Amino acid sequence: MATVVQRGLRIARSARVHPSAEVAATAAIGDGAQIWHHAQVRERATIGDSCIIGKGVYIDADVELGANCKVQNYALVYKGARLGNGVFIGPAAILTNDRYPRAITPDGELKRADDWECGTIEIEDGASIGAGAVVMTGLKIGAYAMVGAGSIITHDVKPQALMIGSPAFHAGWVCKCGRPLVNDLPCFTCGDRYEEIAR
């Protein structure tokens, strides 16, 4: 895969874009970023340094990704999403942006871009969204939180929370390394110790 630097595109010289990918002229692609087969990056989207955008991924207009994010194959990240550094989006996960979707207005006319209100999703540093998970709009996912595969997130998620189910519920806590935590014990993988504090 050759390095791609096209006239009019804001693509860092060290970024790699597969020839089958579609990157809007107003998108910004950071140093060392990789965009794979058939991915689409829309207008004014920002892909941070060293991000990996997998096969068939859709990054909507104005979406922002920090550095070192991984967006796996066929994930859909819609307008209004903002990802911090080191965020993982699993295969076929969906970040939505319309809480009350309709194709037409009450008068039966096809909706236009200015006929709806775009919601937002904020995903803080290090958080992971599992394969096939859906995140509803208007929410915040805390730093290093872990959303299980197939879960549907309908409310804000605390930092380092483990969320599973449909709708998702708080099933425990995870270490920054991603492993589940047991109360009053260090992480069995990396040794970090945590204490739950009531808020």
Residue 113 predicted with pLDDT over 70: yes
Among candidate residues 89, 92, 111, 88, the one with its CA nearest the CA of residue 101: 111
Strand partners, 180: 174
> Within 13 A of 33's CA, how many CA atoms are on the CB side?
29
User: Comparing C-alpha atoms, which of 40, 50, 46, 43 is closest to residue 18?
Assistant: 40
Looking at residue 197, what is its pLDDT?
Answer: 73
Return the amino acid letter for 146: M
pLDDT at 153: 98
CB 186 within 8 A of CB 192: yes
d(C-alpha 44, C-alpha 52), whole Å: 18
Residue among 136, 26, 134, 123 at smallest CA distance from 70: 123
**DSSP code of 111?**
P
Is a pLDDT exceeding 90 seen at residue 186?
no
What's the rounded mean pLDDT across residues 102-120?
91
Q: How confident is the model at residue 194 (pLDDT cuts 50, 70, 90)?
A: confident
**Structure-block tokens of residue 125:** 């540093």
- Mean pLDDT throughout 10-34? 94
DSSP, res 189: T
Domains and their CATH numbers in the chain: 1-68 (2.160.10.10), 75-199 (2.160.10.10)
Query: For residue 135, what pLDDT band results from cuts at 50, 70 and 90?
Result: very high
Look at residue 68 and tell me whether its pLDDT is greater than 50. Answer: yes
The answer to whether the bond into 167 is cis (omega within 30° of 0) is yes
Question: Can you give the pLDDT at residue 2?
Answer: 34
How many CA atoms does the CB half-sphere of 170 hold within 13 Å? 12
Token pair recorded at residue 117:
């209100």
Question: What are the pLDDT digits (tens) for 78-97?
Answer: 999 999 999 999 999 999 99
List pLDDT tens digits, range 43-67: 999 999 999 999 999 999 999 999 9
Half-sphere exposure at residue 188, Cβ-oriented, CA atoms within 13 angstroms: 5
Cβ neighbours of residue 70 closer than 8 Å, sequence gap 6 or more? 51, 52, 54, 87, 88, 89
